[in-house]
Amino acid sequence: MLAIFKREIQSYLTSPIGYLVIGLYLTLNGLFLWVFKGPFNIFEYGFADLDNFFLLSPWIFLFLIPAITMKSFSEEKKLGTLELLFIKPIGIGEMVFGKFLGAFVLTIIAMLPTLLYVHTISELGTTIGNLDMGAIRGSYFGLLFLIATYTAIGLFASTLSENQIVAFLIAMILSFLIFYGFEGLASLSADGALQLLLQPLGMKTHYDNLARGVIDTRDIIYFSSLSLFFIFLTTVQLKNQNR
């Protein structure tokens, strides 16, 4: 697994895609939070906190993470190197986890510079340093789980086609449906009981809970189970292709 992880990280950081993803993520965040006028602009928001950043990031990652993971297995299938991986002395599960960690760590690297926002917002407040650090830690914690789930979904999508664009679209659509689809369905219903039933099925409700700084084991179990489920599906799909 470690060898696959190192191989993935090297492939990202020795090619333009890794730096493109990092640059694009930071640029989009910077433009929406600090430059473009709109609901995410921190100066127009009127409060010195990072709520807008944590509202925006899931939507940016909805596009960026599928762009990272789309080549994970699609490219291997297209180049014919997937068969070479199958014959190596490494289990399919270890191979999947290695690729998962590679994409996950690259996304974390892209997110690390945003920690500067914490200092910047702290300095912008009427009272310097008056930030709810508990909520910020919880929000970053929730973002890590969201990234892990998006990554697992993207890996699964990359096993479904050797066309990277198709893999990207499948990952993006699946991630969107699981993140916001249930919330959208709940909003269409006037039945309060049905809303309460549908909302917890989607990622948005659980992410919002963590973003408020509330670390609930139910939210952690939800994200962990969803990530492991898609990693399991990825492993099963590869085993079927290896027959």
DSSP state of 189: -
Question: DSSP secondary-structure letter at 163?
Answer: -
Return the structure tokens found at 75. Answer: 């490219």
32-59: pLDDT as tens digits? 888 888 778 877 776 667 888 888 899 9
**So where are the chain's domains?**
1-242
> Treating both helix axes as pointing N-terminal to C-terminal, what angle do 164-176 and 133-158 enclose, rounded to 10 degrees?
140
Query: Could you tell me which of 102, 142, 98 has the C-alpha nearest to residue 21?
Result: 102
CB-hemisphere CA count at 13 Å for 140? Answer: 15
Is pLDDT at 128 greater than 80 in this prediction? no
Could you tell me where the DSSP H helices lie in 14-81?
16-30, 42-45, 51-69, 74-79
Q: How confident is the model at residue 243 (pLDDT cuts 50, 70, 90)?
A: low
> Using CA atoms, how far apart are residues 156 and 235, in angstroms rounded to an integer?
8
Under the banding of pLDDT at 50, 70 and 90, the label for residue 127 is low
For residue 110, is pLDDT > 80? yes
Query: Cα–chain-centroid distance for residue 97?
Result: 16
Residue whose structure tokens are 């962990």: 224
In angstroms, the CA 58 to CA 200 distance is: 17
> How far apart (Å, rounded) are the C-alpha atoms in residues 195 and 191?
6
